[in-house]
Every structure is written in C-alpha cells, then in structure tokens.
C-alpha cells in the first residue's frame, strides 16, 4: 500500500470499523501510523481487531463501543476520542446495515430505525466532529454510500433511500464546511465480498454473475476500498470536495 506521511500521528475516526470494509479501512490508516479510533456495536469482532492490529502498529488501535443510532452516545464517544487522541483529522462514516425488507412489511418504526442506522448518524457524527476539525485547521470526511440505489434493487427501499441521502448530505456538508478547510467526499462501493455478505446474501452464482458484469473480472474484497479512501483523505486529493467516487470494478 502507498504511504502517505501526512497521516502519521493524526487522529482518525471510523464508524462501523469492527468488520468488513470498515475493518480494512481501520487497518489501512493504522498501517500509515495514524492514531485510529473506531466505533462499533459488535464487541467480540471489534476487540479482536483492535488487539490484532495493536501488536504491530505505531499507535494502539482504540475500539469504542457505541450504538450510532444513539446521538448522545455519538457525542460522548467523539469527546472521548478527541480527549485521548487529539482533534480528529479524518472521519470515515462507514457504518450501515443492508437489511432486506419487503415494501408491504415496512412500518414507520422500521423505516425510522433503518434511516437511523444508515443515514442519521452520518449527519450527527459529522456535526460533532466538525468543530474539532475546524480547531485543527481542517480535516476530511468520507462517507460510504453504495451503488445499490442506482440499480433499481427491489429488496431494500429504506437502505437505498439512505444511501442516496448520503450523497446529498455529502454535497451539502462539503458546501458548509469547505470554508473551514474541511473536505467532504463519498465512496460508492459495488459488490464487496465480506463475511456478512457471504453469510446473508451472496451465492457463488451471484458473485460470478456480478464479476461477469464488471470491466475488471475479479472478485472485490474489502481492501479494494482502502486505497480510494486513503487517497481521498490524503493531500493528493486536496482540491477534491463534494465528489462521489464509484469503486465497483466498472459494472455495466
């Protein structure tokens, strides 16, 4: 992986860092010498990840258990991160749950919970982190959307709504925070094969079908998102804000 010296000793916060793409991003920043903190609800996996990485990274990787649907818990956790690791330079809003739900079954309570899981915390974590970035003279926010909402996928209308919302939110935050030297960008992953995806949704046939529709005929794993994330957070992307980058192997 390319090295970006600007991340060394910087405080980086990643949501949903305990597994899948988030865990790969945690490792990516930790291997750059950053002070990485991550938020998750999955305790066992998260402790295991923090312990494994902390054995040979410059700074120990810190796991904070919090449910991102709870805005007070977000505020408390960000305060802890800033108190321990200093003002946050990079925030990656990665956490989400792509639960399937049928149109006929969705209740107002289900809808609200889904949007709190997939969209609301992106706003509130950014709101709470922004003053700390401003104080540090600037920062970078990277939000995780998905190509799913572009593909007319029928099985998760609430998730698709949230992921489309992440792009609108990215653009609005970029406009609001740009004068404070805070850049806000978005990544739209395609089919990224993770443990959760394999357990719940993917089949070998489905994977082969998607790979066939990618320009790049390879199965993409979580590490495919790390490079684009590091790049967007780095000084190489200093003139990029309000942008959305698709990382899907070129699906057609």
Ligand X SMILES: NC(=O)c1ccc[n+]([C@@H]2O[C@H](COP(=O)([O-])OP(=O)(O)OC[C@H]3O[C@@H](n4cnc5c(N)ncnc54)[C@H](O)[C@@H]3O)[C@@H](O)[C@H]2O)c1
Q: Which residues bind ligand X (CB under 6 A)?
A: 16, 18-22, 39-42, 67-69, 94-98, 117, 144, 146, 148, 189, 191-192, 194, 196-197
Which residue's CB is nearer to ligand X, number 32 or number 160? 160
Q: Of 159, 166, 226, 248, which is the active-site residue?
A: 159
| Whether 219 contacts 82, CB under 8 Å | no
- Report the residue closest to ligand X, judged by CB: 20
Could you give phi then psi for residue 184, rounded to 5 degrees? -130, 120
Q: What share of the chain is helix, strand, coil (3-state, %, to 5)?
A: 50, 20, 30
Q: How far is the CB of 23 from ligand X (least distance, A)?
A: 7
Which residue's CB is nearer to ligand X, number 93 or number 241? 93
Residue with tokens 């945690």: 26
Q: How far is the CB of 81 from ligand X (least distance, A)?
A: 14
Which residue's CB is nearer to ligand X, number 179 or number 212? 212
Which residue's CB is nearer to ligand X, number 23 or number 82? 23
Q: Which of 246, 242, 235 is nearest to 90 (CA)?
A: 235
Q: How far is CA 184 from CA 47, 98, 121, 167, 235, in A?
A: 29, 23, 15, 10, 13
Q: How far is the CB of 52 from ligand X (least distance, A)?
A: 15
Answer left, alpha or beta for residue 206, where phi above 0 means left and psi between -120 and 50 means alpha.
alpha
Q: How far is the CB of 6 from ligand X (least distance, A)?
A: 24
Q: C-alpha angle with apex 185: 181 to 187, nearest 5 degrees?
A: 160
Residue 159 annotated among the catalytic residues of the structure: yes
Could you give phi then psi for residue 98, rounded to 5 degrees? -90, 50
Active site residues: 159
């Amino acid at each position: 992986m390319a090295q970006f010296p600007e991340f060394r000793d910087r405080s980086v916060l990643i949501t949903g860092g305990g597994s899948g793409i988030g865990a790969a991003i945690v490792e990516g920043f930790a291997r750059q010498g950053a002070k990485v903190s991550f938020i998750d609800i999955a305790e066992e996996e998260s402790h295991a990840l923090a312990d494994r990485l902390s054995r040979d990274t410059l700074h120990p990787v810190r796991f904070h258990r919090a449910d991102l649907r709870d805005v007070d818990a977000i505020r408390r956790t960000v305060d802890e991160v800033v108190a321990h690791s200093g003002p946050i330079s990079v925030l990656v809003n990665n956490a989400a749950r792509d639960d399937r739900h049928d149109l006929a079954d969705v209740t107002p309570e289900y809808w609200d919970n889904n949007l709190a899981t997939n969209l609301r915390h992106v706003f509130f974590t950014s709101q709470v982190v922004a003053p700390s970035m401003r104080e540090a003279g600037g920062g970078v926010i990277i939000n995780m959307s998905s190509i799913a909402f572009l593909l007319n996928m029928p099985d998760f209308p609430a998730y698709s709504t949230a992921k489309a919302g992440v792009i609108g939110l990215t653009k609005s935050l970029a406009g609001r925070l740009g004068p404070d030297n805070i850049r806000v960008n978005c990544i739209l992953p395609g089919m990224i094969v993770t443990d959760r995806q394999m357990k719940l949704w993917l089949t070998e046939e489905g994977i082969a079908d998607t790979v066939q529709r990618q320009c790049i005929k390879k199965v993409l794993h979580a590490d495919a998102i790390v490079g684009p994330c590091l790049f967007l957070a780095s000084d190489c992307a200093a003139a990029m804000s309000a942008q959305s980058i698709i990382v899907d192997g070129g699906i057609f």
